[in-house]
Chain A
Amino acid sequence: MASPERNAPGGEGLIDPAHDYASVTDKISAFVLTHRTPRGWFIGFGISFLLLMGLLAAVGYLVARGTGIWGVNQPVGWGFAIINFVWWIGIGHAGTLISAILLLLKQEWRTSINRFAEAMTLFAVACAGLYPILHLGRPWLFYWLLPYPNTMNLWPQFRSPLIWDVFAVSTYATVSLLFWYVGLIPDLATLRDRSRRRLAQVGYGVLAMGWRGSAIHWHRYETAYLLLAGLATPLVVSVHTVVSFDFTISIIPGWHSTIFPPYFVAGAIYSGFAMVMTLAIPIRSFYGVGDFITMRHLDNMAKVMLATGLIVAYGYLTEIFIAWYSAVPVEQYMAVNRMRGPYAPLFWGLILTNVIIPQALWSRRVRSSVAALFVLSLIVNVGMWLERFVIVVTSLHRDYLPSSWGMYYPTRWDWLTYAGTIGLFLSLLFLFLRFLPMISISETRALISKAEGEVE
């Protein structure tokens, strides 16, 4: 099945047939080593960096004044912090999924997107990781959530899902980092060897950890990479399952539901792929790497989005059905309140953006239009954010006792913090594009060798 790819006119295949080993290496390493940094990069990085500074300001004021600067209140104790935490974690799913699971499934099309997908994962997890700490009333005591022998003879409370979060997220972050780094080693070596400047040589050299590309190196590398993939795979499922426990373990109507784990994971992959697409398409055109990230890639990702999107939609339906079927008045009220209550516009917005519009992906014409895919992926990102807002807020703002019902409105500090983490995410991404190979050189070459092997 590979040969038609090879012969097919550019776009349908996984890589432009014109490429050979040298050209691949030249092209990808050139972005990092020889090309002048484009003005666009500076502009983009500048904007992201400003947002990042906004985050610093918001956090500084938060520590000085207290959680009260946000919109959270009684009864809505969790607001933007948790919404954004879940959103970022969700986004952070695509990378590892692409790298690990698709690797194990021998899906070659992962090759040219996995590198920055993994990077994106790391950066998203970094953003996500900030929120649980910031949303504490006393952030400087976050380390009390870690089990360590202390002078109080106290341990964390292991029945609390928040503790599970600590482990799930930190493990996920660690493994993703290792996975990404190990994958980078051969390319780092390539950069080390090709760079002319001493500083770059030393820098990449240290990171390359003395990679010489000997057979034994490759052998060990392959094994390690495979093992890590095996390790990472269950994590992809576990992380968002555990995150969903934050809600399911509670007794709040709309949270207390067994559907959450699967439909959170599906949602996570959904949003993850949407984000990969959102990033892939501009990078592709900006750096002109359409010959590596081909239409075939975009098409596959679109299909994955369609599938996971449908799972998510099914989740919404189940929620409503169970609310009705349970015959529990508070549950029923919750469902009705979502659709008819003060936050109804957000709910219907979520249905529109997450369920209805993505159905366009059924059409091949949409899937083959880069612009359409880009817009769609953005819409899905918004939709998944709305989903988290609806889940967190609408359940809390009207629970058991009508006497203590209330409303939640985010303040400007909520928004600034959110924008700030986006800034953090993009800043890291720009640095990555500038200083590391955005596409795996070694694996792409492997792809070529494979293809050629089939031709001869």
Chain B
Amino acid sequence: MAQIFHRSFNVLSRVSIFGAVFFLAALAWVFGTLDRSPYVTNADVVREQPIPFSHRHHVAGLGIDCRYCHTSVETSAFAGIPPTKTCMNCHSQIWSDSPMLEPVRASFREDRPIRWTRVNDLPDFTYFNHSIHVTRGIGCVTCHGRVDQMPLTYQEHPLLMEWCLDCHRDPGQHVRPRGEVFNMSWEPPAEPLQVGRSPLPDHDARQATDCWTCHR
């Protein structure tokens, strides 16, 4: 009786059987990477904005403090996006006829707000509060990156839950003196803060990682 299969099928079958293991592993890896990729997290993606606002120019170039525009960052959950008025404080004098700034002037003229695109956007079921992070000594840079070096603003970190928890469990490596919070270029002191223990005297990792601290 004629052979149904060519002898090469022996090899083939063996390979496919053992290969399955590696295939599955690869699949798992793909998913894991995809979940953390910019495609999902939008990290490092520059968002289209009505006006190509440059933090580098305003912060690094002109040395404007974060709080000049983000006024409620120390008191409220929401850091605050500057009203058109704030832009016009300067731009009614300087660059007052630059075409790039026309939308700002239009907004001011017609009393119609500018619609910015959110860059750092958490899910709606996650309640982030700026004021507490600022008072506990988490620098702007820690989450937002070197905004002062961003010609166009993008999201520095993945903002995934694992990323938040990493700090909530042990903020030791991230906290800085209260005075340095808004300092873009602050470097931690040479001798590292004692690892594993938070320098915040009353930081309660359990409280900081309770579900309802962020979700409710």
Judge whether A209 and B13 touch: CB under 8 Å: yes
Question: Which listed residue (A153, A193, A201) contacts B161, Cβ 8 A?
Answer: A153
Q: Are A151 and B10 in contact (CB under 8 A)?
A: no
In the complex, B165 has a CB within 8 A of chain A: yes
Q: Are A151 and B161 in contact (CB under 8 A)?
A: yes
Inside 8 A of A367's CB, which chain B residues have their CB? none
| A141-155 interface (Cβ within 8 A of B) | 148-154
Chain B residues with CB under 8 Å of A154's CB are 161
A152 engages B13 (CB within 8 Å): no
Q: Name the residue of chain B whose CB is nearest to the CB of A151.
A: B160
Residues on the A chain within 8 Å of B36, using CB: 151
Q: Are B162 and A152 within 8 A (Cβ)?
A: yes
Residues of A within 8 A of B9 (CB): 210
Q: Chain B residues with Cβ under 8 A from A193's Cβ?
A: 1
Task: Say yes or no: A192-B161 contact (C-beta < 8 A), given A149-B32, A150-B35, A209-B13.
Answer: no
Does A227 count as interface, using CB distance less than 8 angstroms?
no
Question: At the interface, yes or no: B5 with Cβ under 8 Å from chain A?
Answer: yes
Judged by a CB distance under 8 angstroms, whether B62 is at the interface is: no
The answer to whether A446 has its CB under 8 Å from any CB of chain B is no
**CB <8 Å contact, A205 and B35:** no
CA distance A342 to B13 in the complex (A): 60
Minimum Cβ distance to chain A for residue B198 (Å): 18
Interface check B20, CB cutoff 8 A: no
Given that A151-B35, A153-B165, A210-B13 are contacting pairs, would A205 and B4 also be in contact in the complex, using a CB cutoff of 8 Å? yes
Tell me whether A2 is interfacial, beta carbon within 8 Å: no
| Nearest A residue to B209, CB-CB | A153
Residue in A148, A151, A205 whose CB lies within 8 Å of B5: A205
Asked if A202 is at the interface of the complex by the 8 Å CB criterion, the answer is: yes
Given the complex of chains A and B, what is the CA–CA distance between A150 and B36 in angstroms? Answer: 9
CB distance from B87 to the nearest CB of A (A): 37
| CB-CB contacts below 8 Å: B1-25 with A | 1, 4-5, 9-10, 13
**B residues near A201, Cβ cutoff 8 Å:** 4
Interfacial chain A residues near B158, Cβ < 8 Å: 151
Q: How far is the CA of A150 from the CA of B13 in the complex (A)?
A: 33
State the CA gap A177–B13 with chains docked (Å): 20
Flag B21-64 by CB within 8 Å of A: 1 or 0 each. 00000001000100110000000000000000000000000000
Most chain B Cβ neighbours within 10 Å, of A151, A152, A154: A151
Contact residues in B for A149 (Cβ distance below 8 Å): 32
CB contacts (< 8 Å) of B160 on chain A: these are: 151-152
Give CA–CA (A192, B5) in the complex, Å: 11
| Per-residue B-contact encoding for A362-390, CB less than 8 Å = 1, 0 else | 00000000000000000000000000000
Q: Which secondary structure dominates where chain B touches chain A?
A: helix
Taking a contact as CB atoms closer than 8 A, the residue among A151, A192, A205, A209 that contacts B162 in the complex is A151
* Nearest B-chain residue to A193, judged by Cβ: B1
Q: Mark B147-188, 1 if CB is under 8 A from A, else 0.
A: 000000000001011100100000000000000000000000
Of the candidates B1, B4, B13, B32, which one forms a contact with A202 in the assembled complex, judged by CB atoms under 8 Å apart?
B4
Complex-state Cα separation, A154 to B161, whole angstroms: 9
What is the bound-complex CA distance between A41 and B162, given in angstroms?
55
B28 cross-chain contacts in A, Cβ below 8 A: 148
A202–B13 Cα gap in the complex (Å)?
Answer: 13
B10: chain A residues at CB < 8 Å are 210
Q: How distant is A151 from chain B, measured CB to nearest CB, in Å?
A: 4
A128-172 interface bits toward B, Cβ cutoff 8 Å, 1 = contact, 0 = none: 000000000000000000001111111000000000000000000
A201 to B4, CA, bound (A): 7
Closest to B162 in A: A153
B35 touches A192 (CB 8 A): no
- Distance (whole angstroms) from the CB of B39 to the closest CB of chain A: 13
Q: How far is the CB of A144 from chain B (nearest CB, A)?
A: 13
Give CA–CA (A303, B5) in the complex, Å. Answer: 48
- Separation in Å of the A174 CB from the closest CB of chain B? 14
Which residues of A322-349 have CB atoms within 8 Å of chain B's CB atoms? none
A152: chain B residues within 8 A (beta carbon)? 160-162
Which residue in B4, B13, B32, B165 is a CB contact (below 8 Å) of A192?
B4
List residues of chain B with CB within 8 A of the CB of A209: 13
A210 to chain B, nearest CB (A): 7
**Which residue of A has the minimal Cβ distance to B169?**
A153
Interface residues of A in 166-222 (CB under 8 A from B): 192-193, 201-202, 205, 209-210
- Rounded to whole angstroms, the CA-CA distance of A152 and B4 in the bound complex is 51
Closest chain A CB from B79 CB (angstroms): 25
Min Cβ gap B66→A in Å is 29
In the complex, which residues of chain A have a beta carbon less than 8 angstroms from the beta carbon of B13? 209-210
* Distance in angstroms between the alpha carbons of A282 and B25 in the assembled complex: 45
A202 to B10 CA separation, bound complex (whole angstroms): 14
Bound-state CA distance A201–B5 (Å) is 10
Rounded to whole angstroms, the CA-CA distance of A192 and B1 in the bound complex is 12
Instruction: Identify which of B28, B36, B161 gathers the most chain A CB atoms within 10 Å of its CB.
Output: B161
Contacts of B32 in A (CB 8 A): 149
A202 to B36, CA, bound (A): 43
Docked Cα-Cα span, A33 to B58, in Å, equals 81
Report how far A358 CA is from B190 CA in the complex, Å.
82
Q: Give me 27 A-to-B residue pairs in the complex whose CB atoms sit less than 8 angstroms apart, sorted by A's number.
A: A148-B28, A149-B32, A150-B35, A150-B162, A151-B35, A151-B36, A151-B158, A151-B160, A151-B161, A151-B162, A152-B160, A152-B161, A152-B162, A153-B161, A153-B162, A153-B165, A154-B161, A192-B4, A193-B1, A201-B4, A202-B4, A202-B5, A205-B5, A209-B13, A210-B5, A210-B10, A210-B13
Q: Which residues of A contact B (CB under 8 A)?
A: 148-154, 192-193, 201-202, 205, 209-210
Report, nearest first, the 5 A-B pairs whose CB atoms are least far apart. A153-B162, A152-B161, A151-B160, A205-B4, A201-B4
Please give the residue numbers on chain B whose beta carbons come within 8 Å of chain A beta carbons, in ascending order.
1, 4-5, 9-10, 13, 28, 32, 35-36, 158, 160-162, 165
If A150-B162, A151-B35, A210-B13 are given as contacts, then 12 extra A-B residue pairs at C-beta distance below 8 Å, sorted by A number, are A148-B28, A151-B36, A152-B161, A153-B161, A153-B165, A193-B1, A201-B4, A205-B4, A205-B5, A209-B13, A210-B9, A210-B10
